[in-house]
């Protein structure tokens, strides 16, 4: 293992731990409650954040939720009582902001994951999860790596909460796993 690789992994894991342990249990509860009450769940992000949203939607389907990725060809329309999860490190990406505005106008519930403490989407969101690293070492975690990695783990932690709340386990999830891909 090279020195840079080890320094990078050490930096990333310590920063992710700090970010995730700073999320309040109240906000975690609010996210889980919104998801459990939603008719359907939609995820949206652009770039690597969009990939996180897709991964989360897949796990939601494994748990038996109706989940969609906004922008896919077979996505249902967002409606009142649906929940939209927006993932945007900057919190100002124009397509994400526009999606938030449209979803809010449709009276969907909004969950925002962002690193931006002053995102314009915050005022539209029912819950905003801030995952903004204090230490930034671009050569060890370039661009949005810390936000993206902490968002991935945050969303997987939410899946674990939902799994427990629904009384599911890996066996019941596996039955909903795609066989043909």
| H runs (alpha helix) in the chain | 3-21, 25-37, 47-62, 94-105, 145-166, 170-174
Options 18, 72, 101, 148, the catalytic residue? 148
State both tokens at 84: 């939209």
> CA of 11: how far to CAs of 69, 86, 134, 159, in Å?
31, 26, 12, 25
Q: Is 181 among the catalytic positions? A: no
Secondary structure class of 6 (helix, strand, coil): helix
At 123, is the secondary structure helix, strand, or coil? helix
Q: Which residues are catalytic?
A: 148
């Amino acid at each position: 293992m090279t020195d840079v690789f080890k320094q990078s992994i050490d930096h990333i894991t310590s920063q992710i731990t700090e970010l995730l342990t700073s999320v309040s249990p109240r906000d975690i509860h609010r996210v889980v409650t919104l998801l459990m009450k939603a008719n359907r769940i939609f995820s949206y992000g652009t770039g690597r954040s969009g990939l996180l949203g897709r991964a989360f939607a897949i796990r939601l389907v494994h748990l038996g939720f109706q989940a969609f990725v906004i922008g896919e060809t077979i996505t249902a329309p967002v409606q009142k009582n649906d929940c939209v999860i927006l993932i945007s490190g900057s919190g100002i990406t124009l397509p994400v902001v526009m999606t938030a505005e449209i979803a809010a106008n449709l009276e969907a519930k909004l969950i925002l994951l962002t690193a931006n403490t002053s995102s314009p989407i915050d005022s539209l969101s029912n819950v905003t999860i801030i995952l903004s690293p204090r230490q930034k070492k671009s050569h060890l975690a370039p661009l949005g790596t810390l936000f993206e990695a902490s968002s991935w783990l945050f969303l997987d932690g939410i899946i674990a909460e939902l799994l427990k709340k629904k009384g599911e386990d890996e066996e019941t999830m596996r039955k909903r796993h795609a066989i043909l891909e």
